[in-house]
């Protein structure tokens, strides 16, 4: 079975009975839970699209391990083209769900790093990690598994190294080595898609030193392994999904809009040797981190580029619905958003084409360009979100709920007073407004209030542009005087 369908993926996650909690309660069935279901649906798309004849070329490839057709989220990179294909896929997928497929996304990059580093470990140390890893990854590919990528440790006091923490458990570590495997203890935090992935692929969050060997570990375990407890994150917009009566348009991105990220606690978790890919070889942790980082920075930036494309599209739609679609300042803002965004995409494309191959054949993007691209991706997203709030208007954070809109005493009032452009129904305008709330990522009224309270930026621009017009005459006169250029005062226009 090389390519699962979305339904097969859903059923397989349900059957795993993963030990995950949300808001103080154990989730019995993630498929039916309002917090986990949307992210499952987003990941299910990555399975269904692999069966779509029109999309198949974008989302599948041929495995270098098995020769089979596999889902591209399990592909590792052997050339610039391989990597570019992944970047393009990330951007395009975002258009389809406006969400994340973290349950499949980070791990491919770890796999690329591990394949190359285990090769070098075996060559230098005579270990057999490379073979082990490739066997594991061939299974991931041929069974079309979703694999969470676990890097981030709790880290304790950030100013101290792992070995200097007051508690040795702030970084995931080996507590026992047995004949048949190792026992690990600790936690990983904020892992995307963890509770909706079949497997966890785990590596250190930083380079380790000789006295930190216990933290120099890489391995894989099924997400339902005994001793694992997962806790789903709980950002404020997610509360709405648990509010009685909230529905449909209240959620913005109704079908897919919940980010799945979990904290995972490891209580003496046993990992058999055939799933261990590093255990104590601290000098290889630096190269592993250094190889994962540029890959993942590019990949996550590509997906945020898709997010920004939706922000640009959403800002244009809401401006139309408000009746100001053609306004000059709106077009300028859209153009700036696009410029900031493409700047990042150009950098990561540059990183992809200026990469390097390791002896194992794995391909890695240029680290400098990757980091510049990621840095710019973050700036561009914050900028785009600010512009999105600015263009939407204050309603983006001040919407009545669907319960209000359906209430017999309120419906006519809301339908009348929230109508804007003729021909666009109030329902559509409010639905779009909520979608902009989702895309701009504001879960607290303060951001919109600081942008819209006291009027949006174009109003302030009108005032300071008028002041500049007056001052410009004065400033030009000073410059001409200093440059020794005599010019007649222009005749006053009538």
Ligand X SMILES: Cc1cc2nc3c(=O)[nH]c(=O)nc-3n(C[C@H](O)[C@H](O)[C@H](O)COP(=O)(O)OP(=O)(O)OC[C@H]3O[C@@H](n4cnc5c(N)ncnc54)[C@H](O)[C@@H]3O)c2cc1C
Contacts to ligand X by CB under 6 A: 102, 106, 149-152, 155, 158-159, 190-192, 259, 261
Q: Smaller CB distance to ligand X: residue 65 or 305?
A: 305
For residues 22 and 36, give the distance between their C-alpha atoms in angstroms, rounded to a whole number: 9
Q: Smaller CB distance to ligand X: residue 80 or 106?
A: 106
Q: Give strand pairing partners of 21.
A: 26, 231
Query: At closest approach, how far in Å is the CB of 190 from ligand X?
Result: 4
Q: Smaller CB distance to ligand X: residue 155 or 241?
A: 155
Task: Establish how many alpha carbons lie within 13 A of residue 318's alpha carbon, considering only the half-sphere containing its beta carbon.
Answer: 27
Q: Smaller CB distance to ligand X: residue 50 or 200?
A: 200
Handedness of CA 65, 60, 46, 373 (dihedral sign): positive
For residues 355 and 174, give the distance between their C-alpha atoms in angstroms, rounded to a whole number: 34
Query: At closest approach, how far in Å is the CB of 19 from ligand X?
Result: 19
Query: At closest approach, how far in Å is the CB of 232 from ligand X?
Result: 12
Question: Is the separation of the CB atoms in 129 and 345 below 8 Å?
Answer: no
Going by the DSSP 8-state scheme, the letter that residue 237 receives in this structure is: G
Q: Smaller CB distance to ligand X: residue 5 or 152?
A: 152
For residues 72, 77, 83 and 85, what is the CA-based torsion angle, rounded to 10 degrees?
-30
Query: At closest approach, how far in Å is the CB of 237 from ligand X?
Result: 13
Handedness of CA 373, 378, 382, 385 (dihedral sign): positive
Query: At closest approach, how far in Å is the CB of 200 from ligand X?
Result: 10
Q: Smaller CB distance to ligand X: residue 192 or 440?
A: 192
Angle at alpha carbon of residue 449, lines to 94 and 457, rounded to 5°: 80
Query: At closest approach, how far in Å is the CB of 282 from ligand X?
Result: 19
User: Which residues have a Cβ under 8 Å from the Cβ of 174 and sit 6 or more positions away?
Assistant: 182, 183, 184, 214, 217, 279, 280
Phi, psi (rounded to 5 degrees) for 268: 45, 60
For residues 242 and 23, give the distance between their C-alpha atoms in angstroms, rounded to a whole number: 10
Q: Smaller CB distance to ligand X: residue 249 or 295?
A: 295
Q: Smaller CB distance to ligand X: residue 80 or 191?
A: 191
Query: At closest approach, how far in Å is the CB of 107 from ligand X?
Result: 9
The widest CA-to-CA distance across the chain, in whole angstroms, is 95
Query: At closest approach, how far in Å is the CB of 225 from ligand X?
Result: 18
């Amino acid at each position: 079975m090389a390519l699962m369908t979305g339904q097969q993926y859903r059923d397989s996650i349900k059957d795993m009975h993963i030990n995950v909690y949300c808001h103080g309660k154990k989730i019995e069935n993630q498929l039916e839970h309002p917090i986990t279901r949307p992210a499952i649906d987003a990941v299910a798309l990555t399975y269904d699209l692999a069966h779509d004849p029109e999309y198949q070329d974008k989302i599948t490839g041929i495995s270098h391990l098995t020769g089979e057709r596999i889902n591209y989220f399990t592909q590792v990179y052997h050339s610039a083209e391989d990597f570019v294909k992944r970047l393009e896929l990330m951007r395009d997928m975002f258009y389809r769900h406006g969400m994340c497929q973290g349950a499949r996304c980070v791990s491919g990059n770890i796999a690329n790093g591990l394949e190359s580093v285990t090769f070098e470990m075996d060559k230098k140390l005579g270990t057999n990690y490379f073979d082990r890893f490739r066997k594991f990854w061939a299974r991931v590919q041929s069974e079309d598994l979703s694999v969470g990528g676990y890097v981030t440790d709790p880290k304790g006091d950030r100013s101290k190294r792992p070995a200097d923490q007051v508690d040795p458990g702030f970084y995931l570590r080996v507590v026992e080595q047995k004949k048949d495997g190792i026992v690990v203890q600790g936690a990983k935090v904020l892992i995307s898609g963890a509770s909706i992935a079949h497997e966890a692929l785990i590596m250190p969050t930083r380079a380790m030193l000789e006295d930190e060997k216990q933290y120099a570990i890489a391995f894989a375990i099924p997400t339902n392994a005994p001793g694992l407890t997962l806790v789903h994150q709980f950002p404020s917009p997610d509360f709405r999904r648990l509010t009685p009566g909230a529905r449909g348009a209240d959620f913005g991105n109704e079908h897919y809009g919940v980010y799945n990220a979990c904290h995972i606690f490891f209580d003496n978790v046993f990992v058999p040797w055939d799933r261990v890919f590093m255990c104590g070889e601290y000098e290889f942790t630096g190269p592993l981190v250094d190889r994962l980082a540029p890959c993942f920075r590019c990949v996550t930036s590509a997906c945020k580029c898709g997010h920004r494309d939706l922000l640009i599209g959403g800002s244009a739609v809401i401006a139309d619905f408000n009746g100001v679609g053609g306004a000059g300042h709106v077009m300028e803002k859209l153009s700036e958003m696009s410029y900031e965004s493409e700047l990042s995409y150009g950098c990561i494309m540059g990183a992809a084409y200026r990469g390097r191959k390791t002896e194992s054949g794995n391909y890695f993007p240029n680290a400098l360009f990757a980091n510049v691209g990621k840095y710019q991706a973050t700036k561009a997203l914050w900028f785009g979100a600010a512009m999105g709030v600015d263009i939407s208007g204050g309603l983006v954070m001040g919407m009545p709920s669907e319960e209000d809109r359906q209430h017999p005493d309120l419906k006519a009032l809301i339908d009348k007073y929230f109508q804007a452009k003729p021909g666009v129904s109030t329902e559509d305008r409010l639905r779009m407004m909520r979608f902009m709330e989702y895309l701009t990522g504001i879960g607290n009224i303060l951001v919109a209030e600081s942008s819209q309270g006291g009027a949006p930026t174009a109003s302030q621009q009108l005032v300071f542009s008028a002041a500049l017009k007056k001052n410009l005459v004065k400033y030009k006169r000073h410059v001409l005087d200093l440059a020794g250029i005599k010019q007649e005062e222009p005749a006053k226009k009538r």
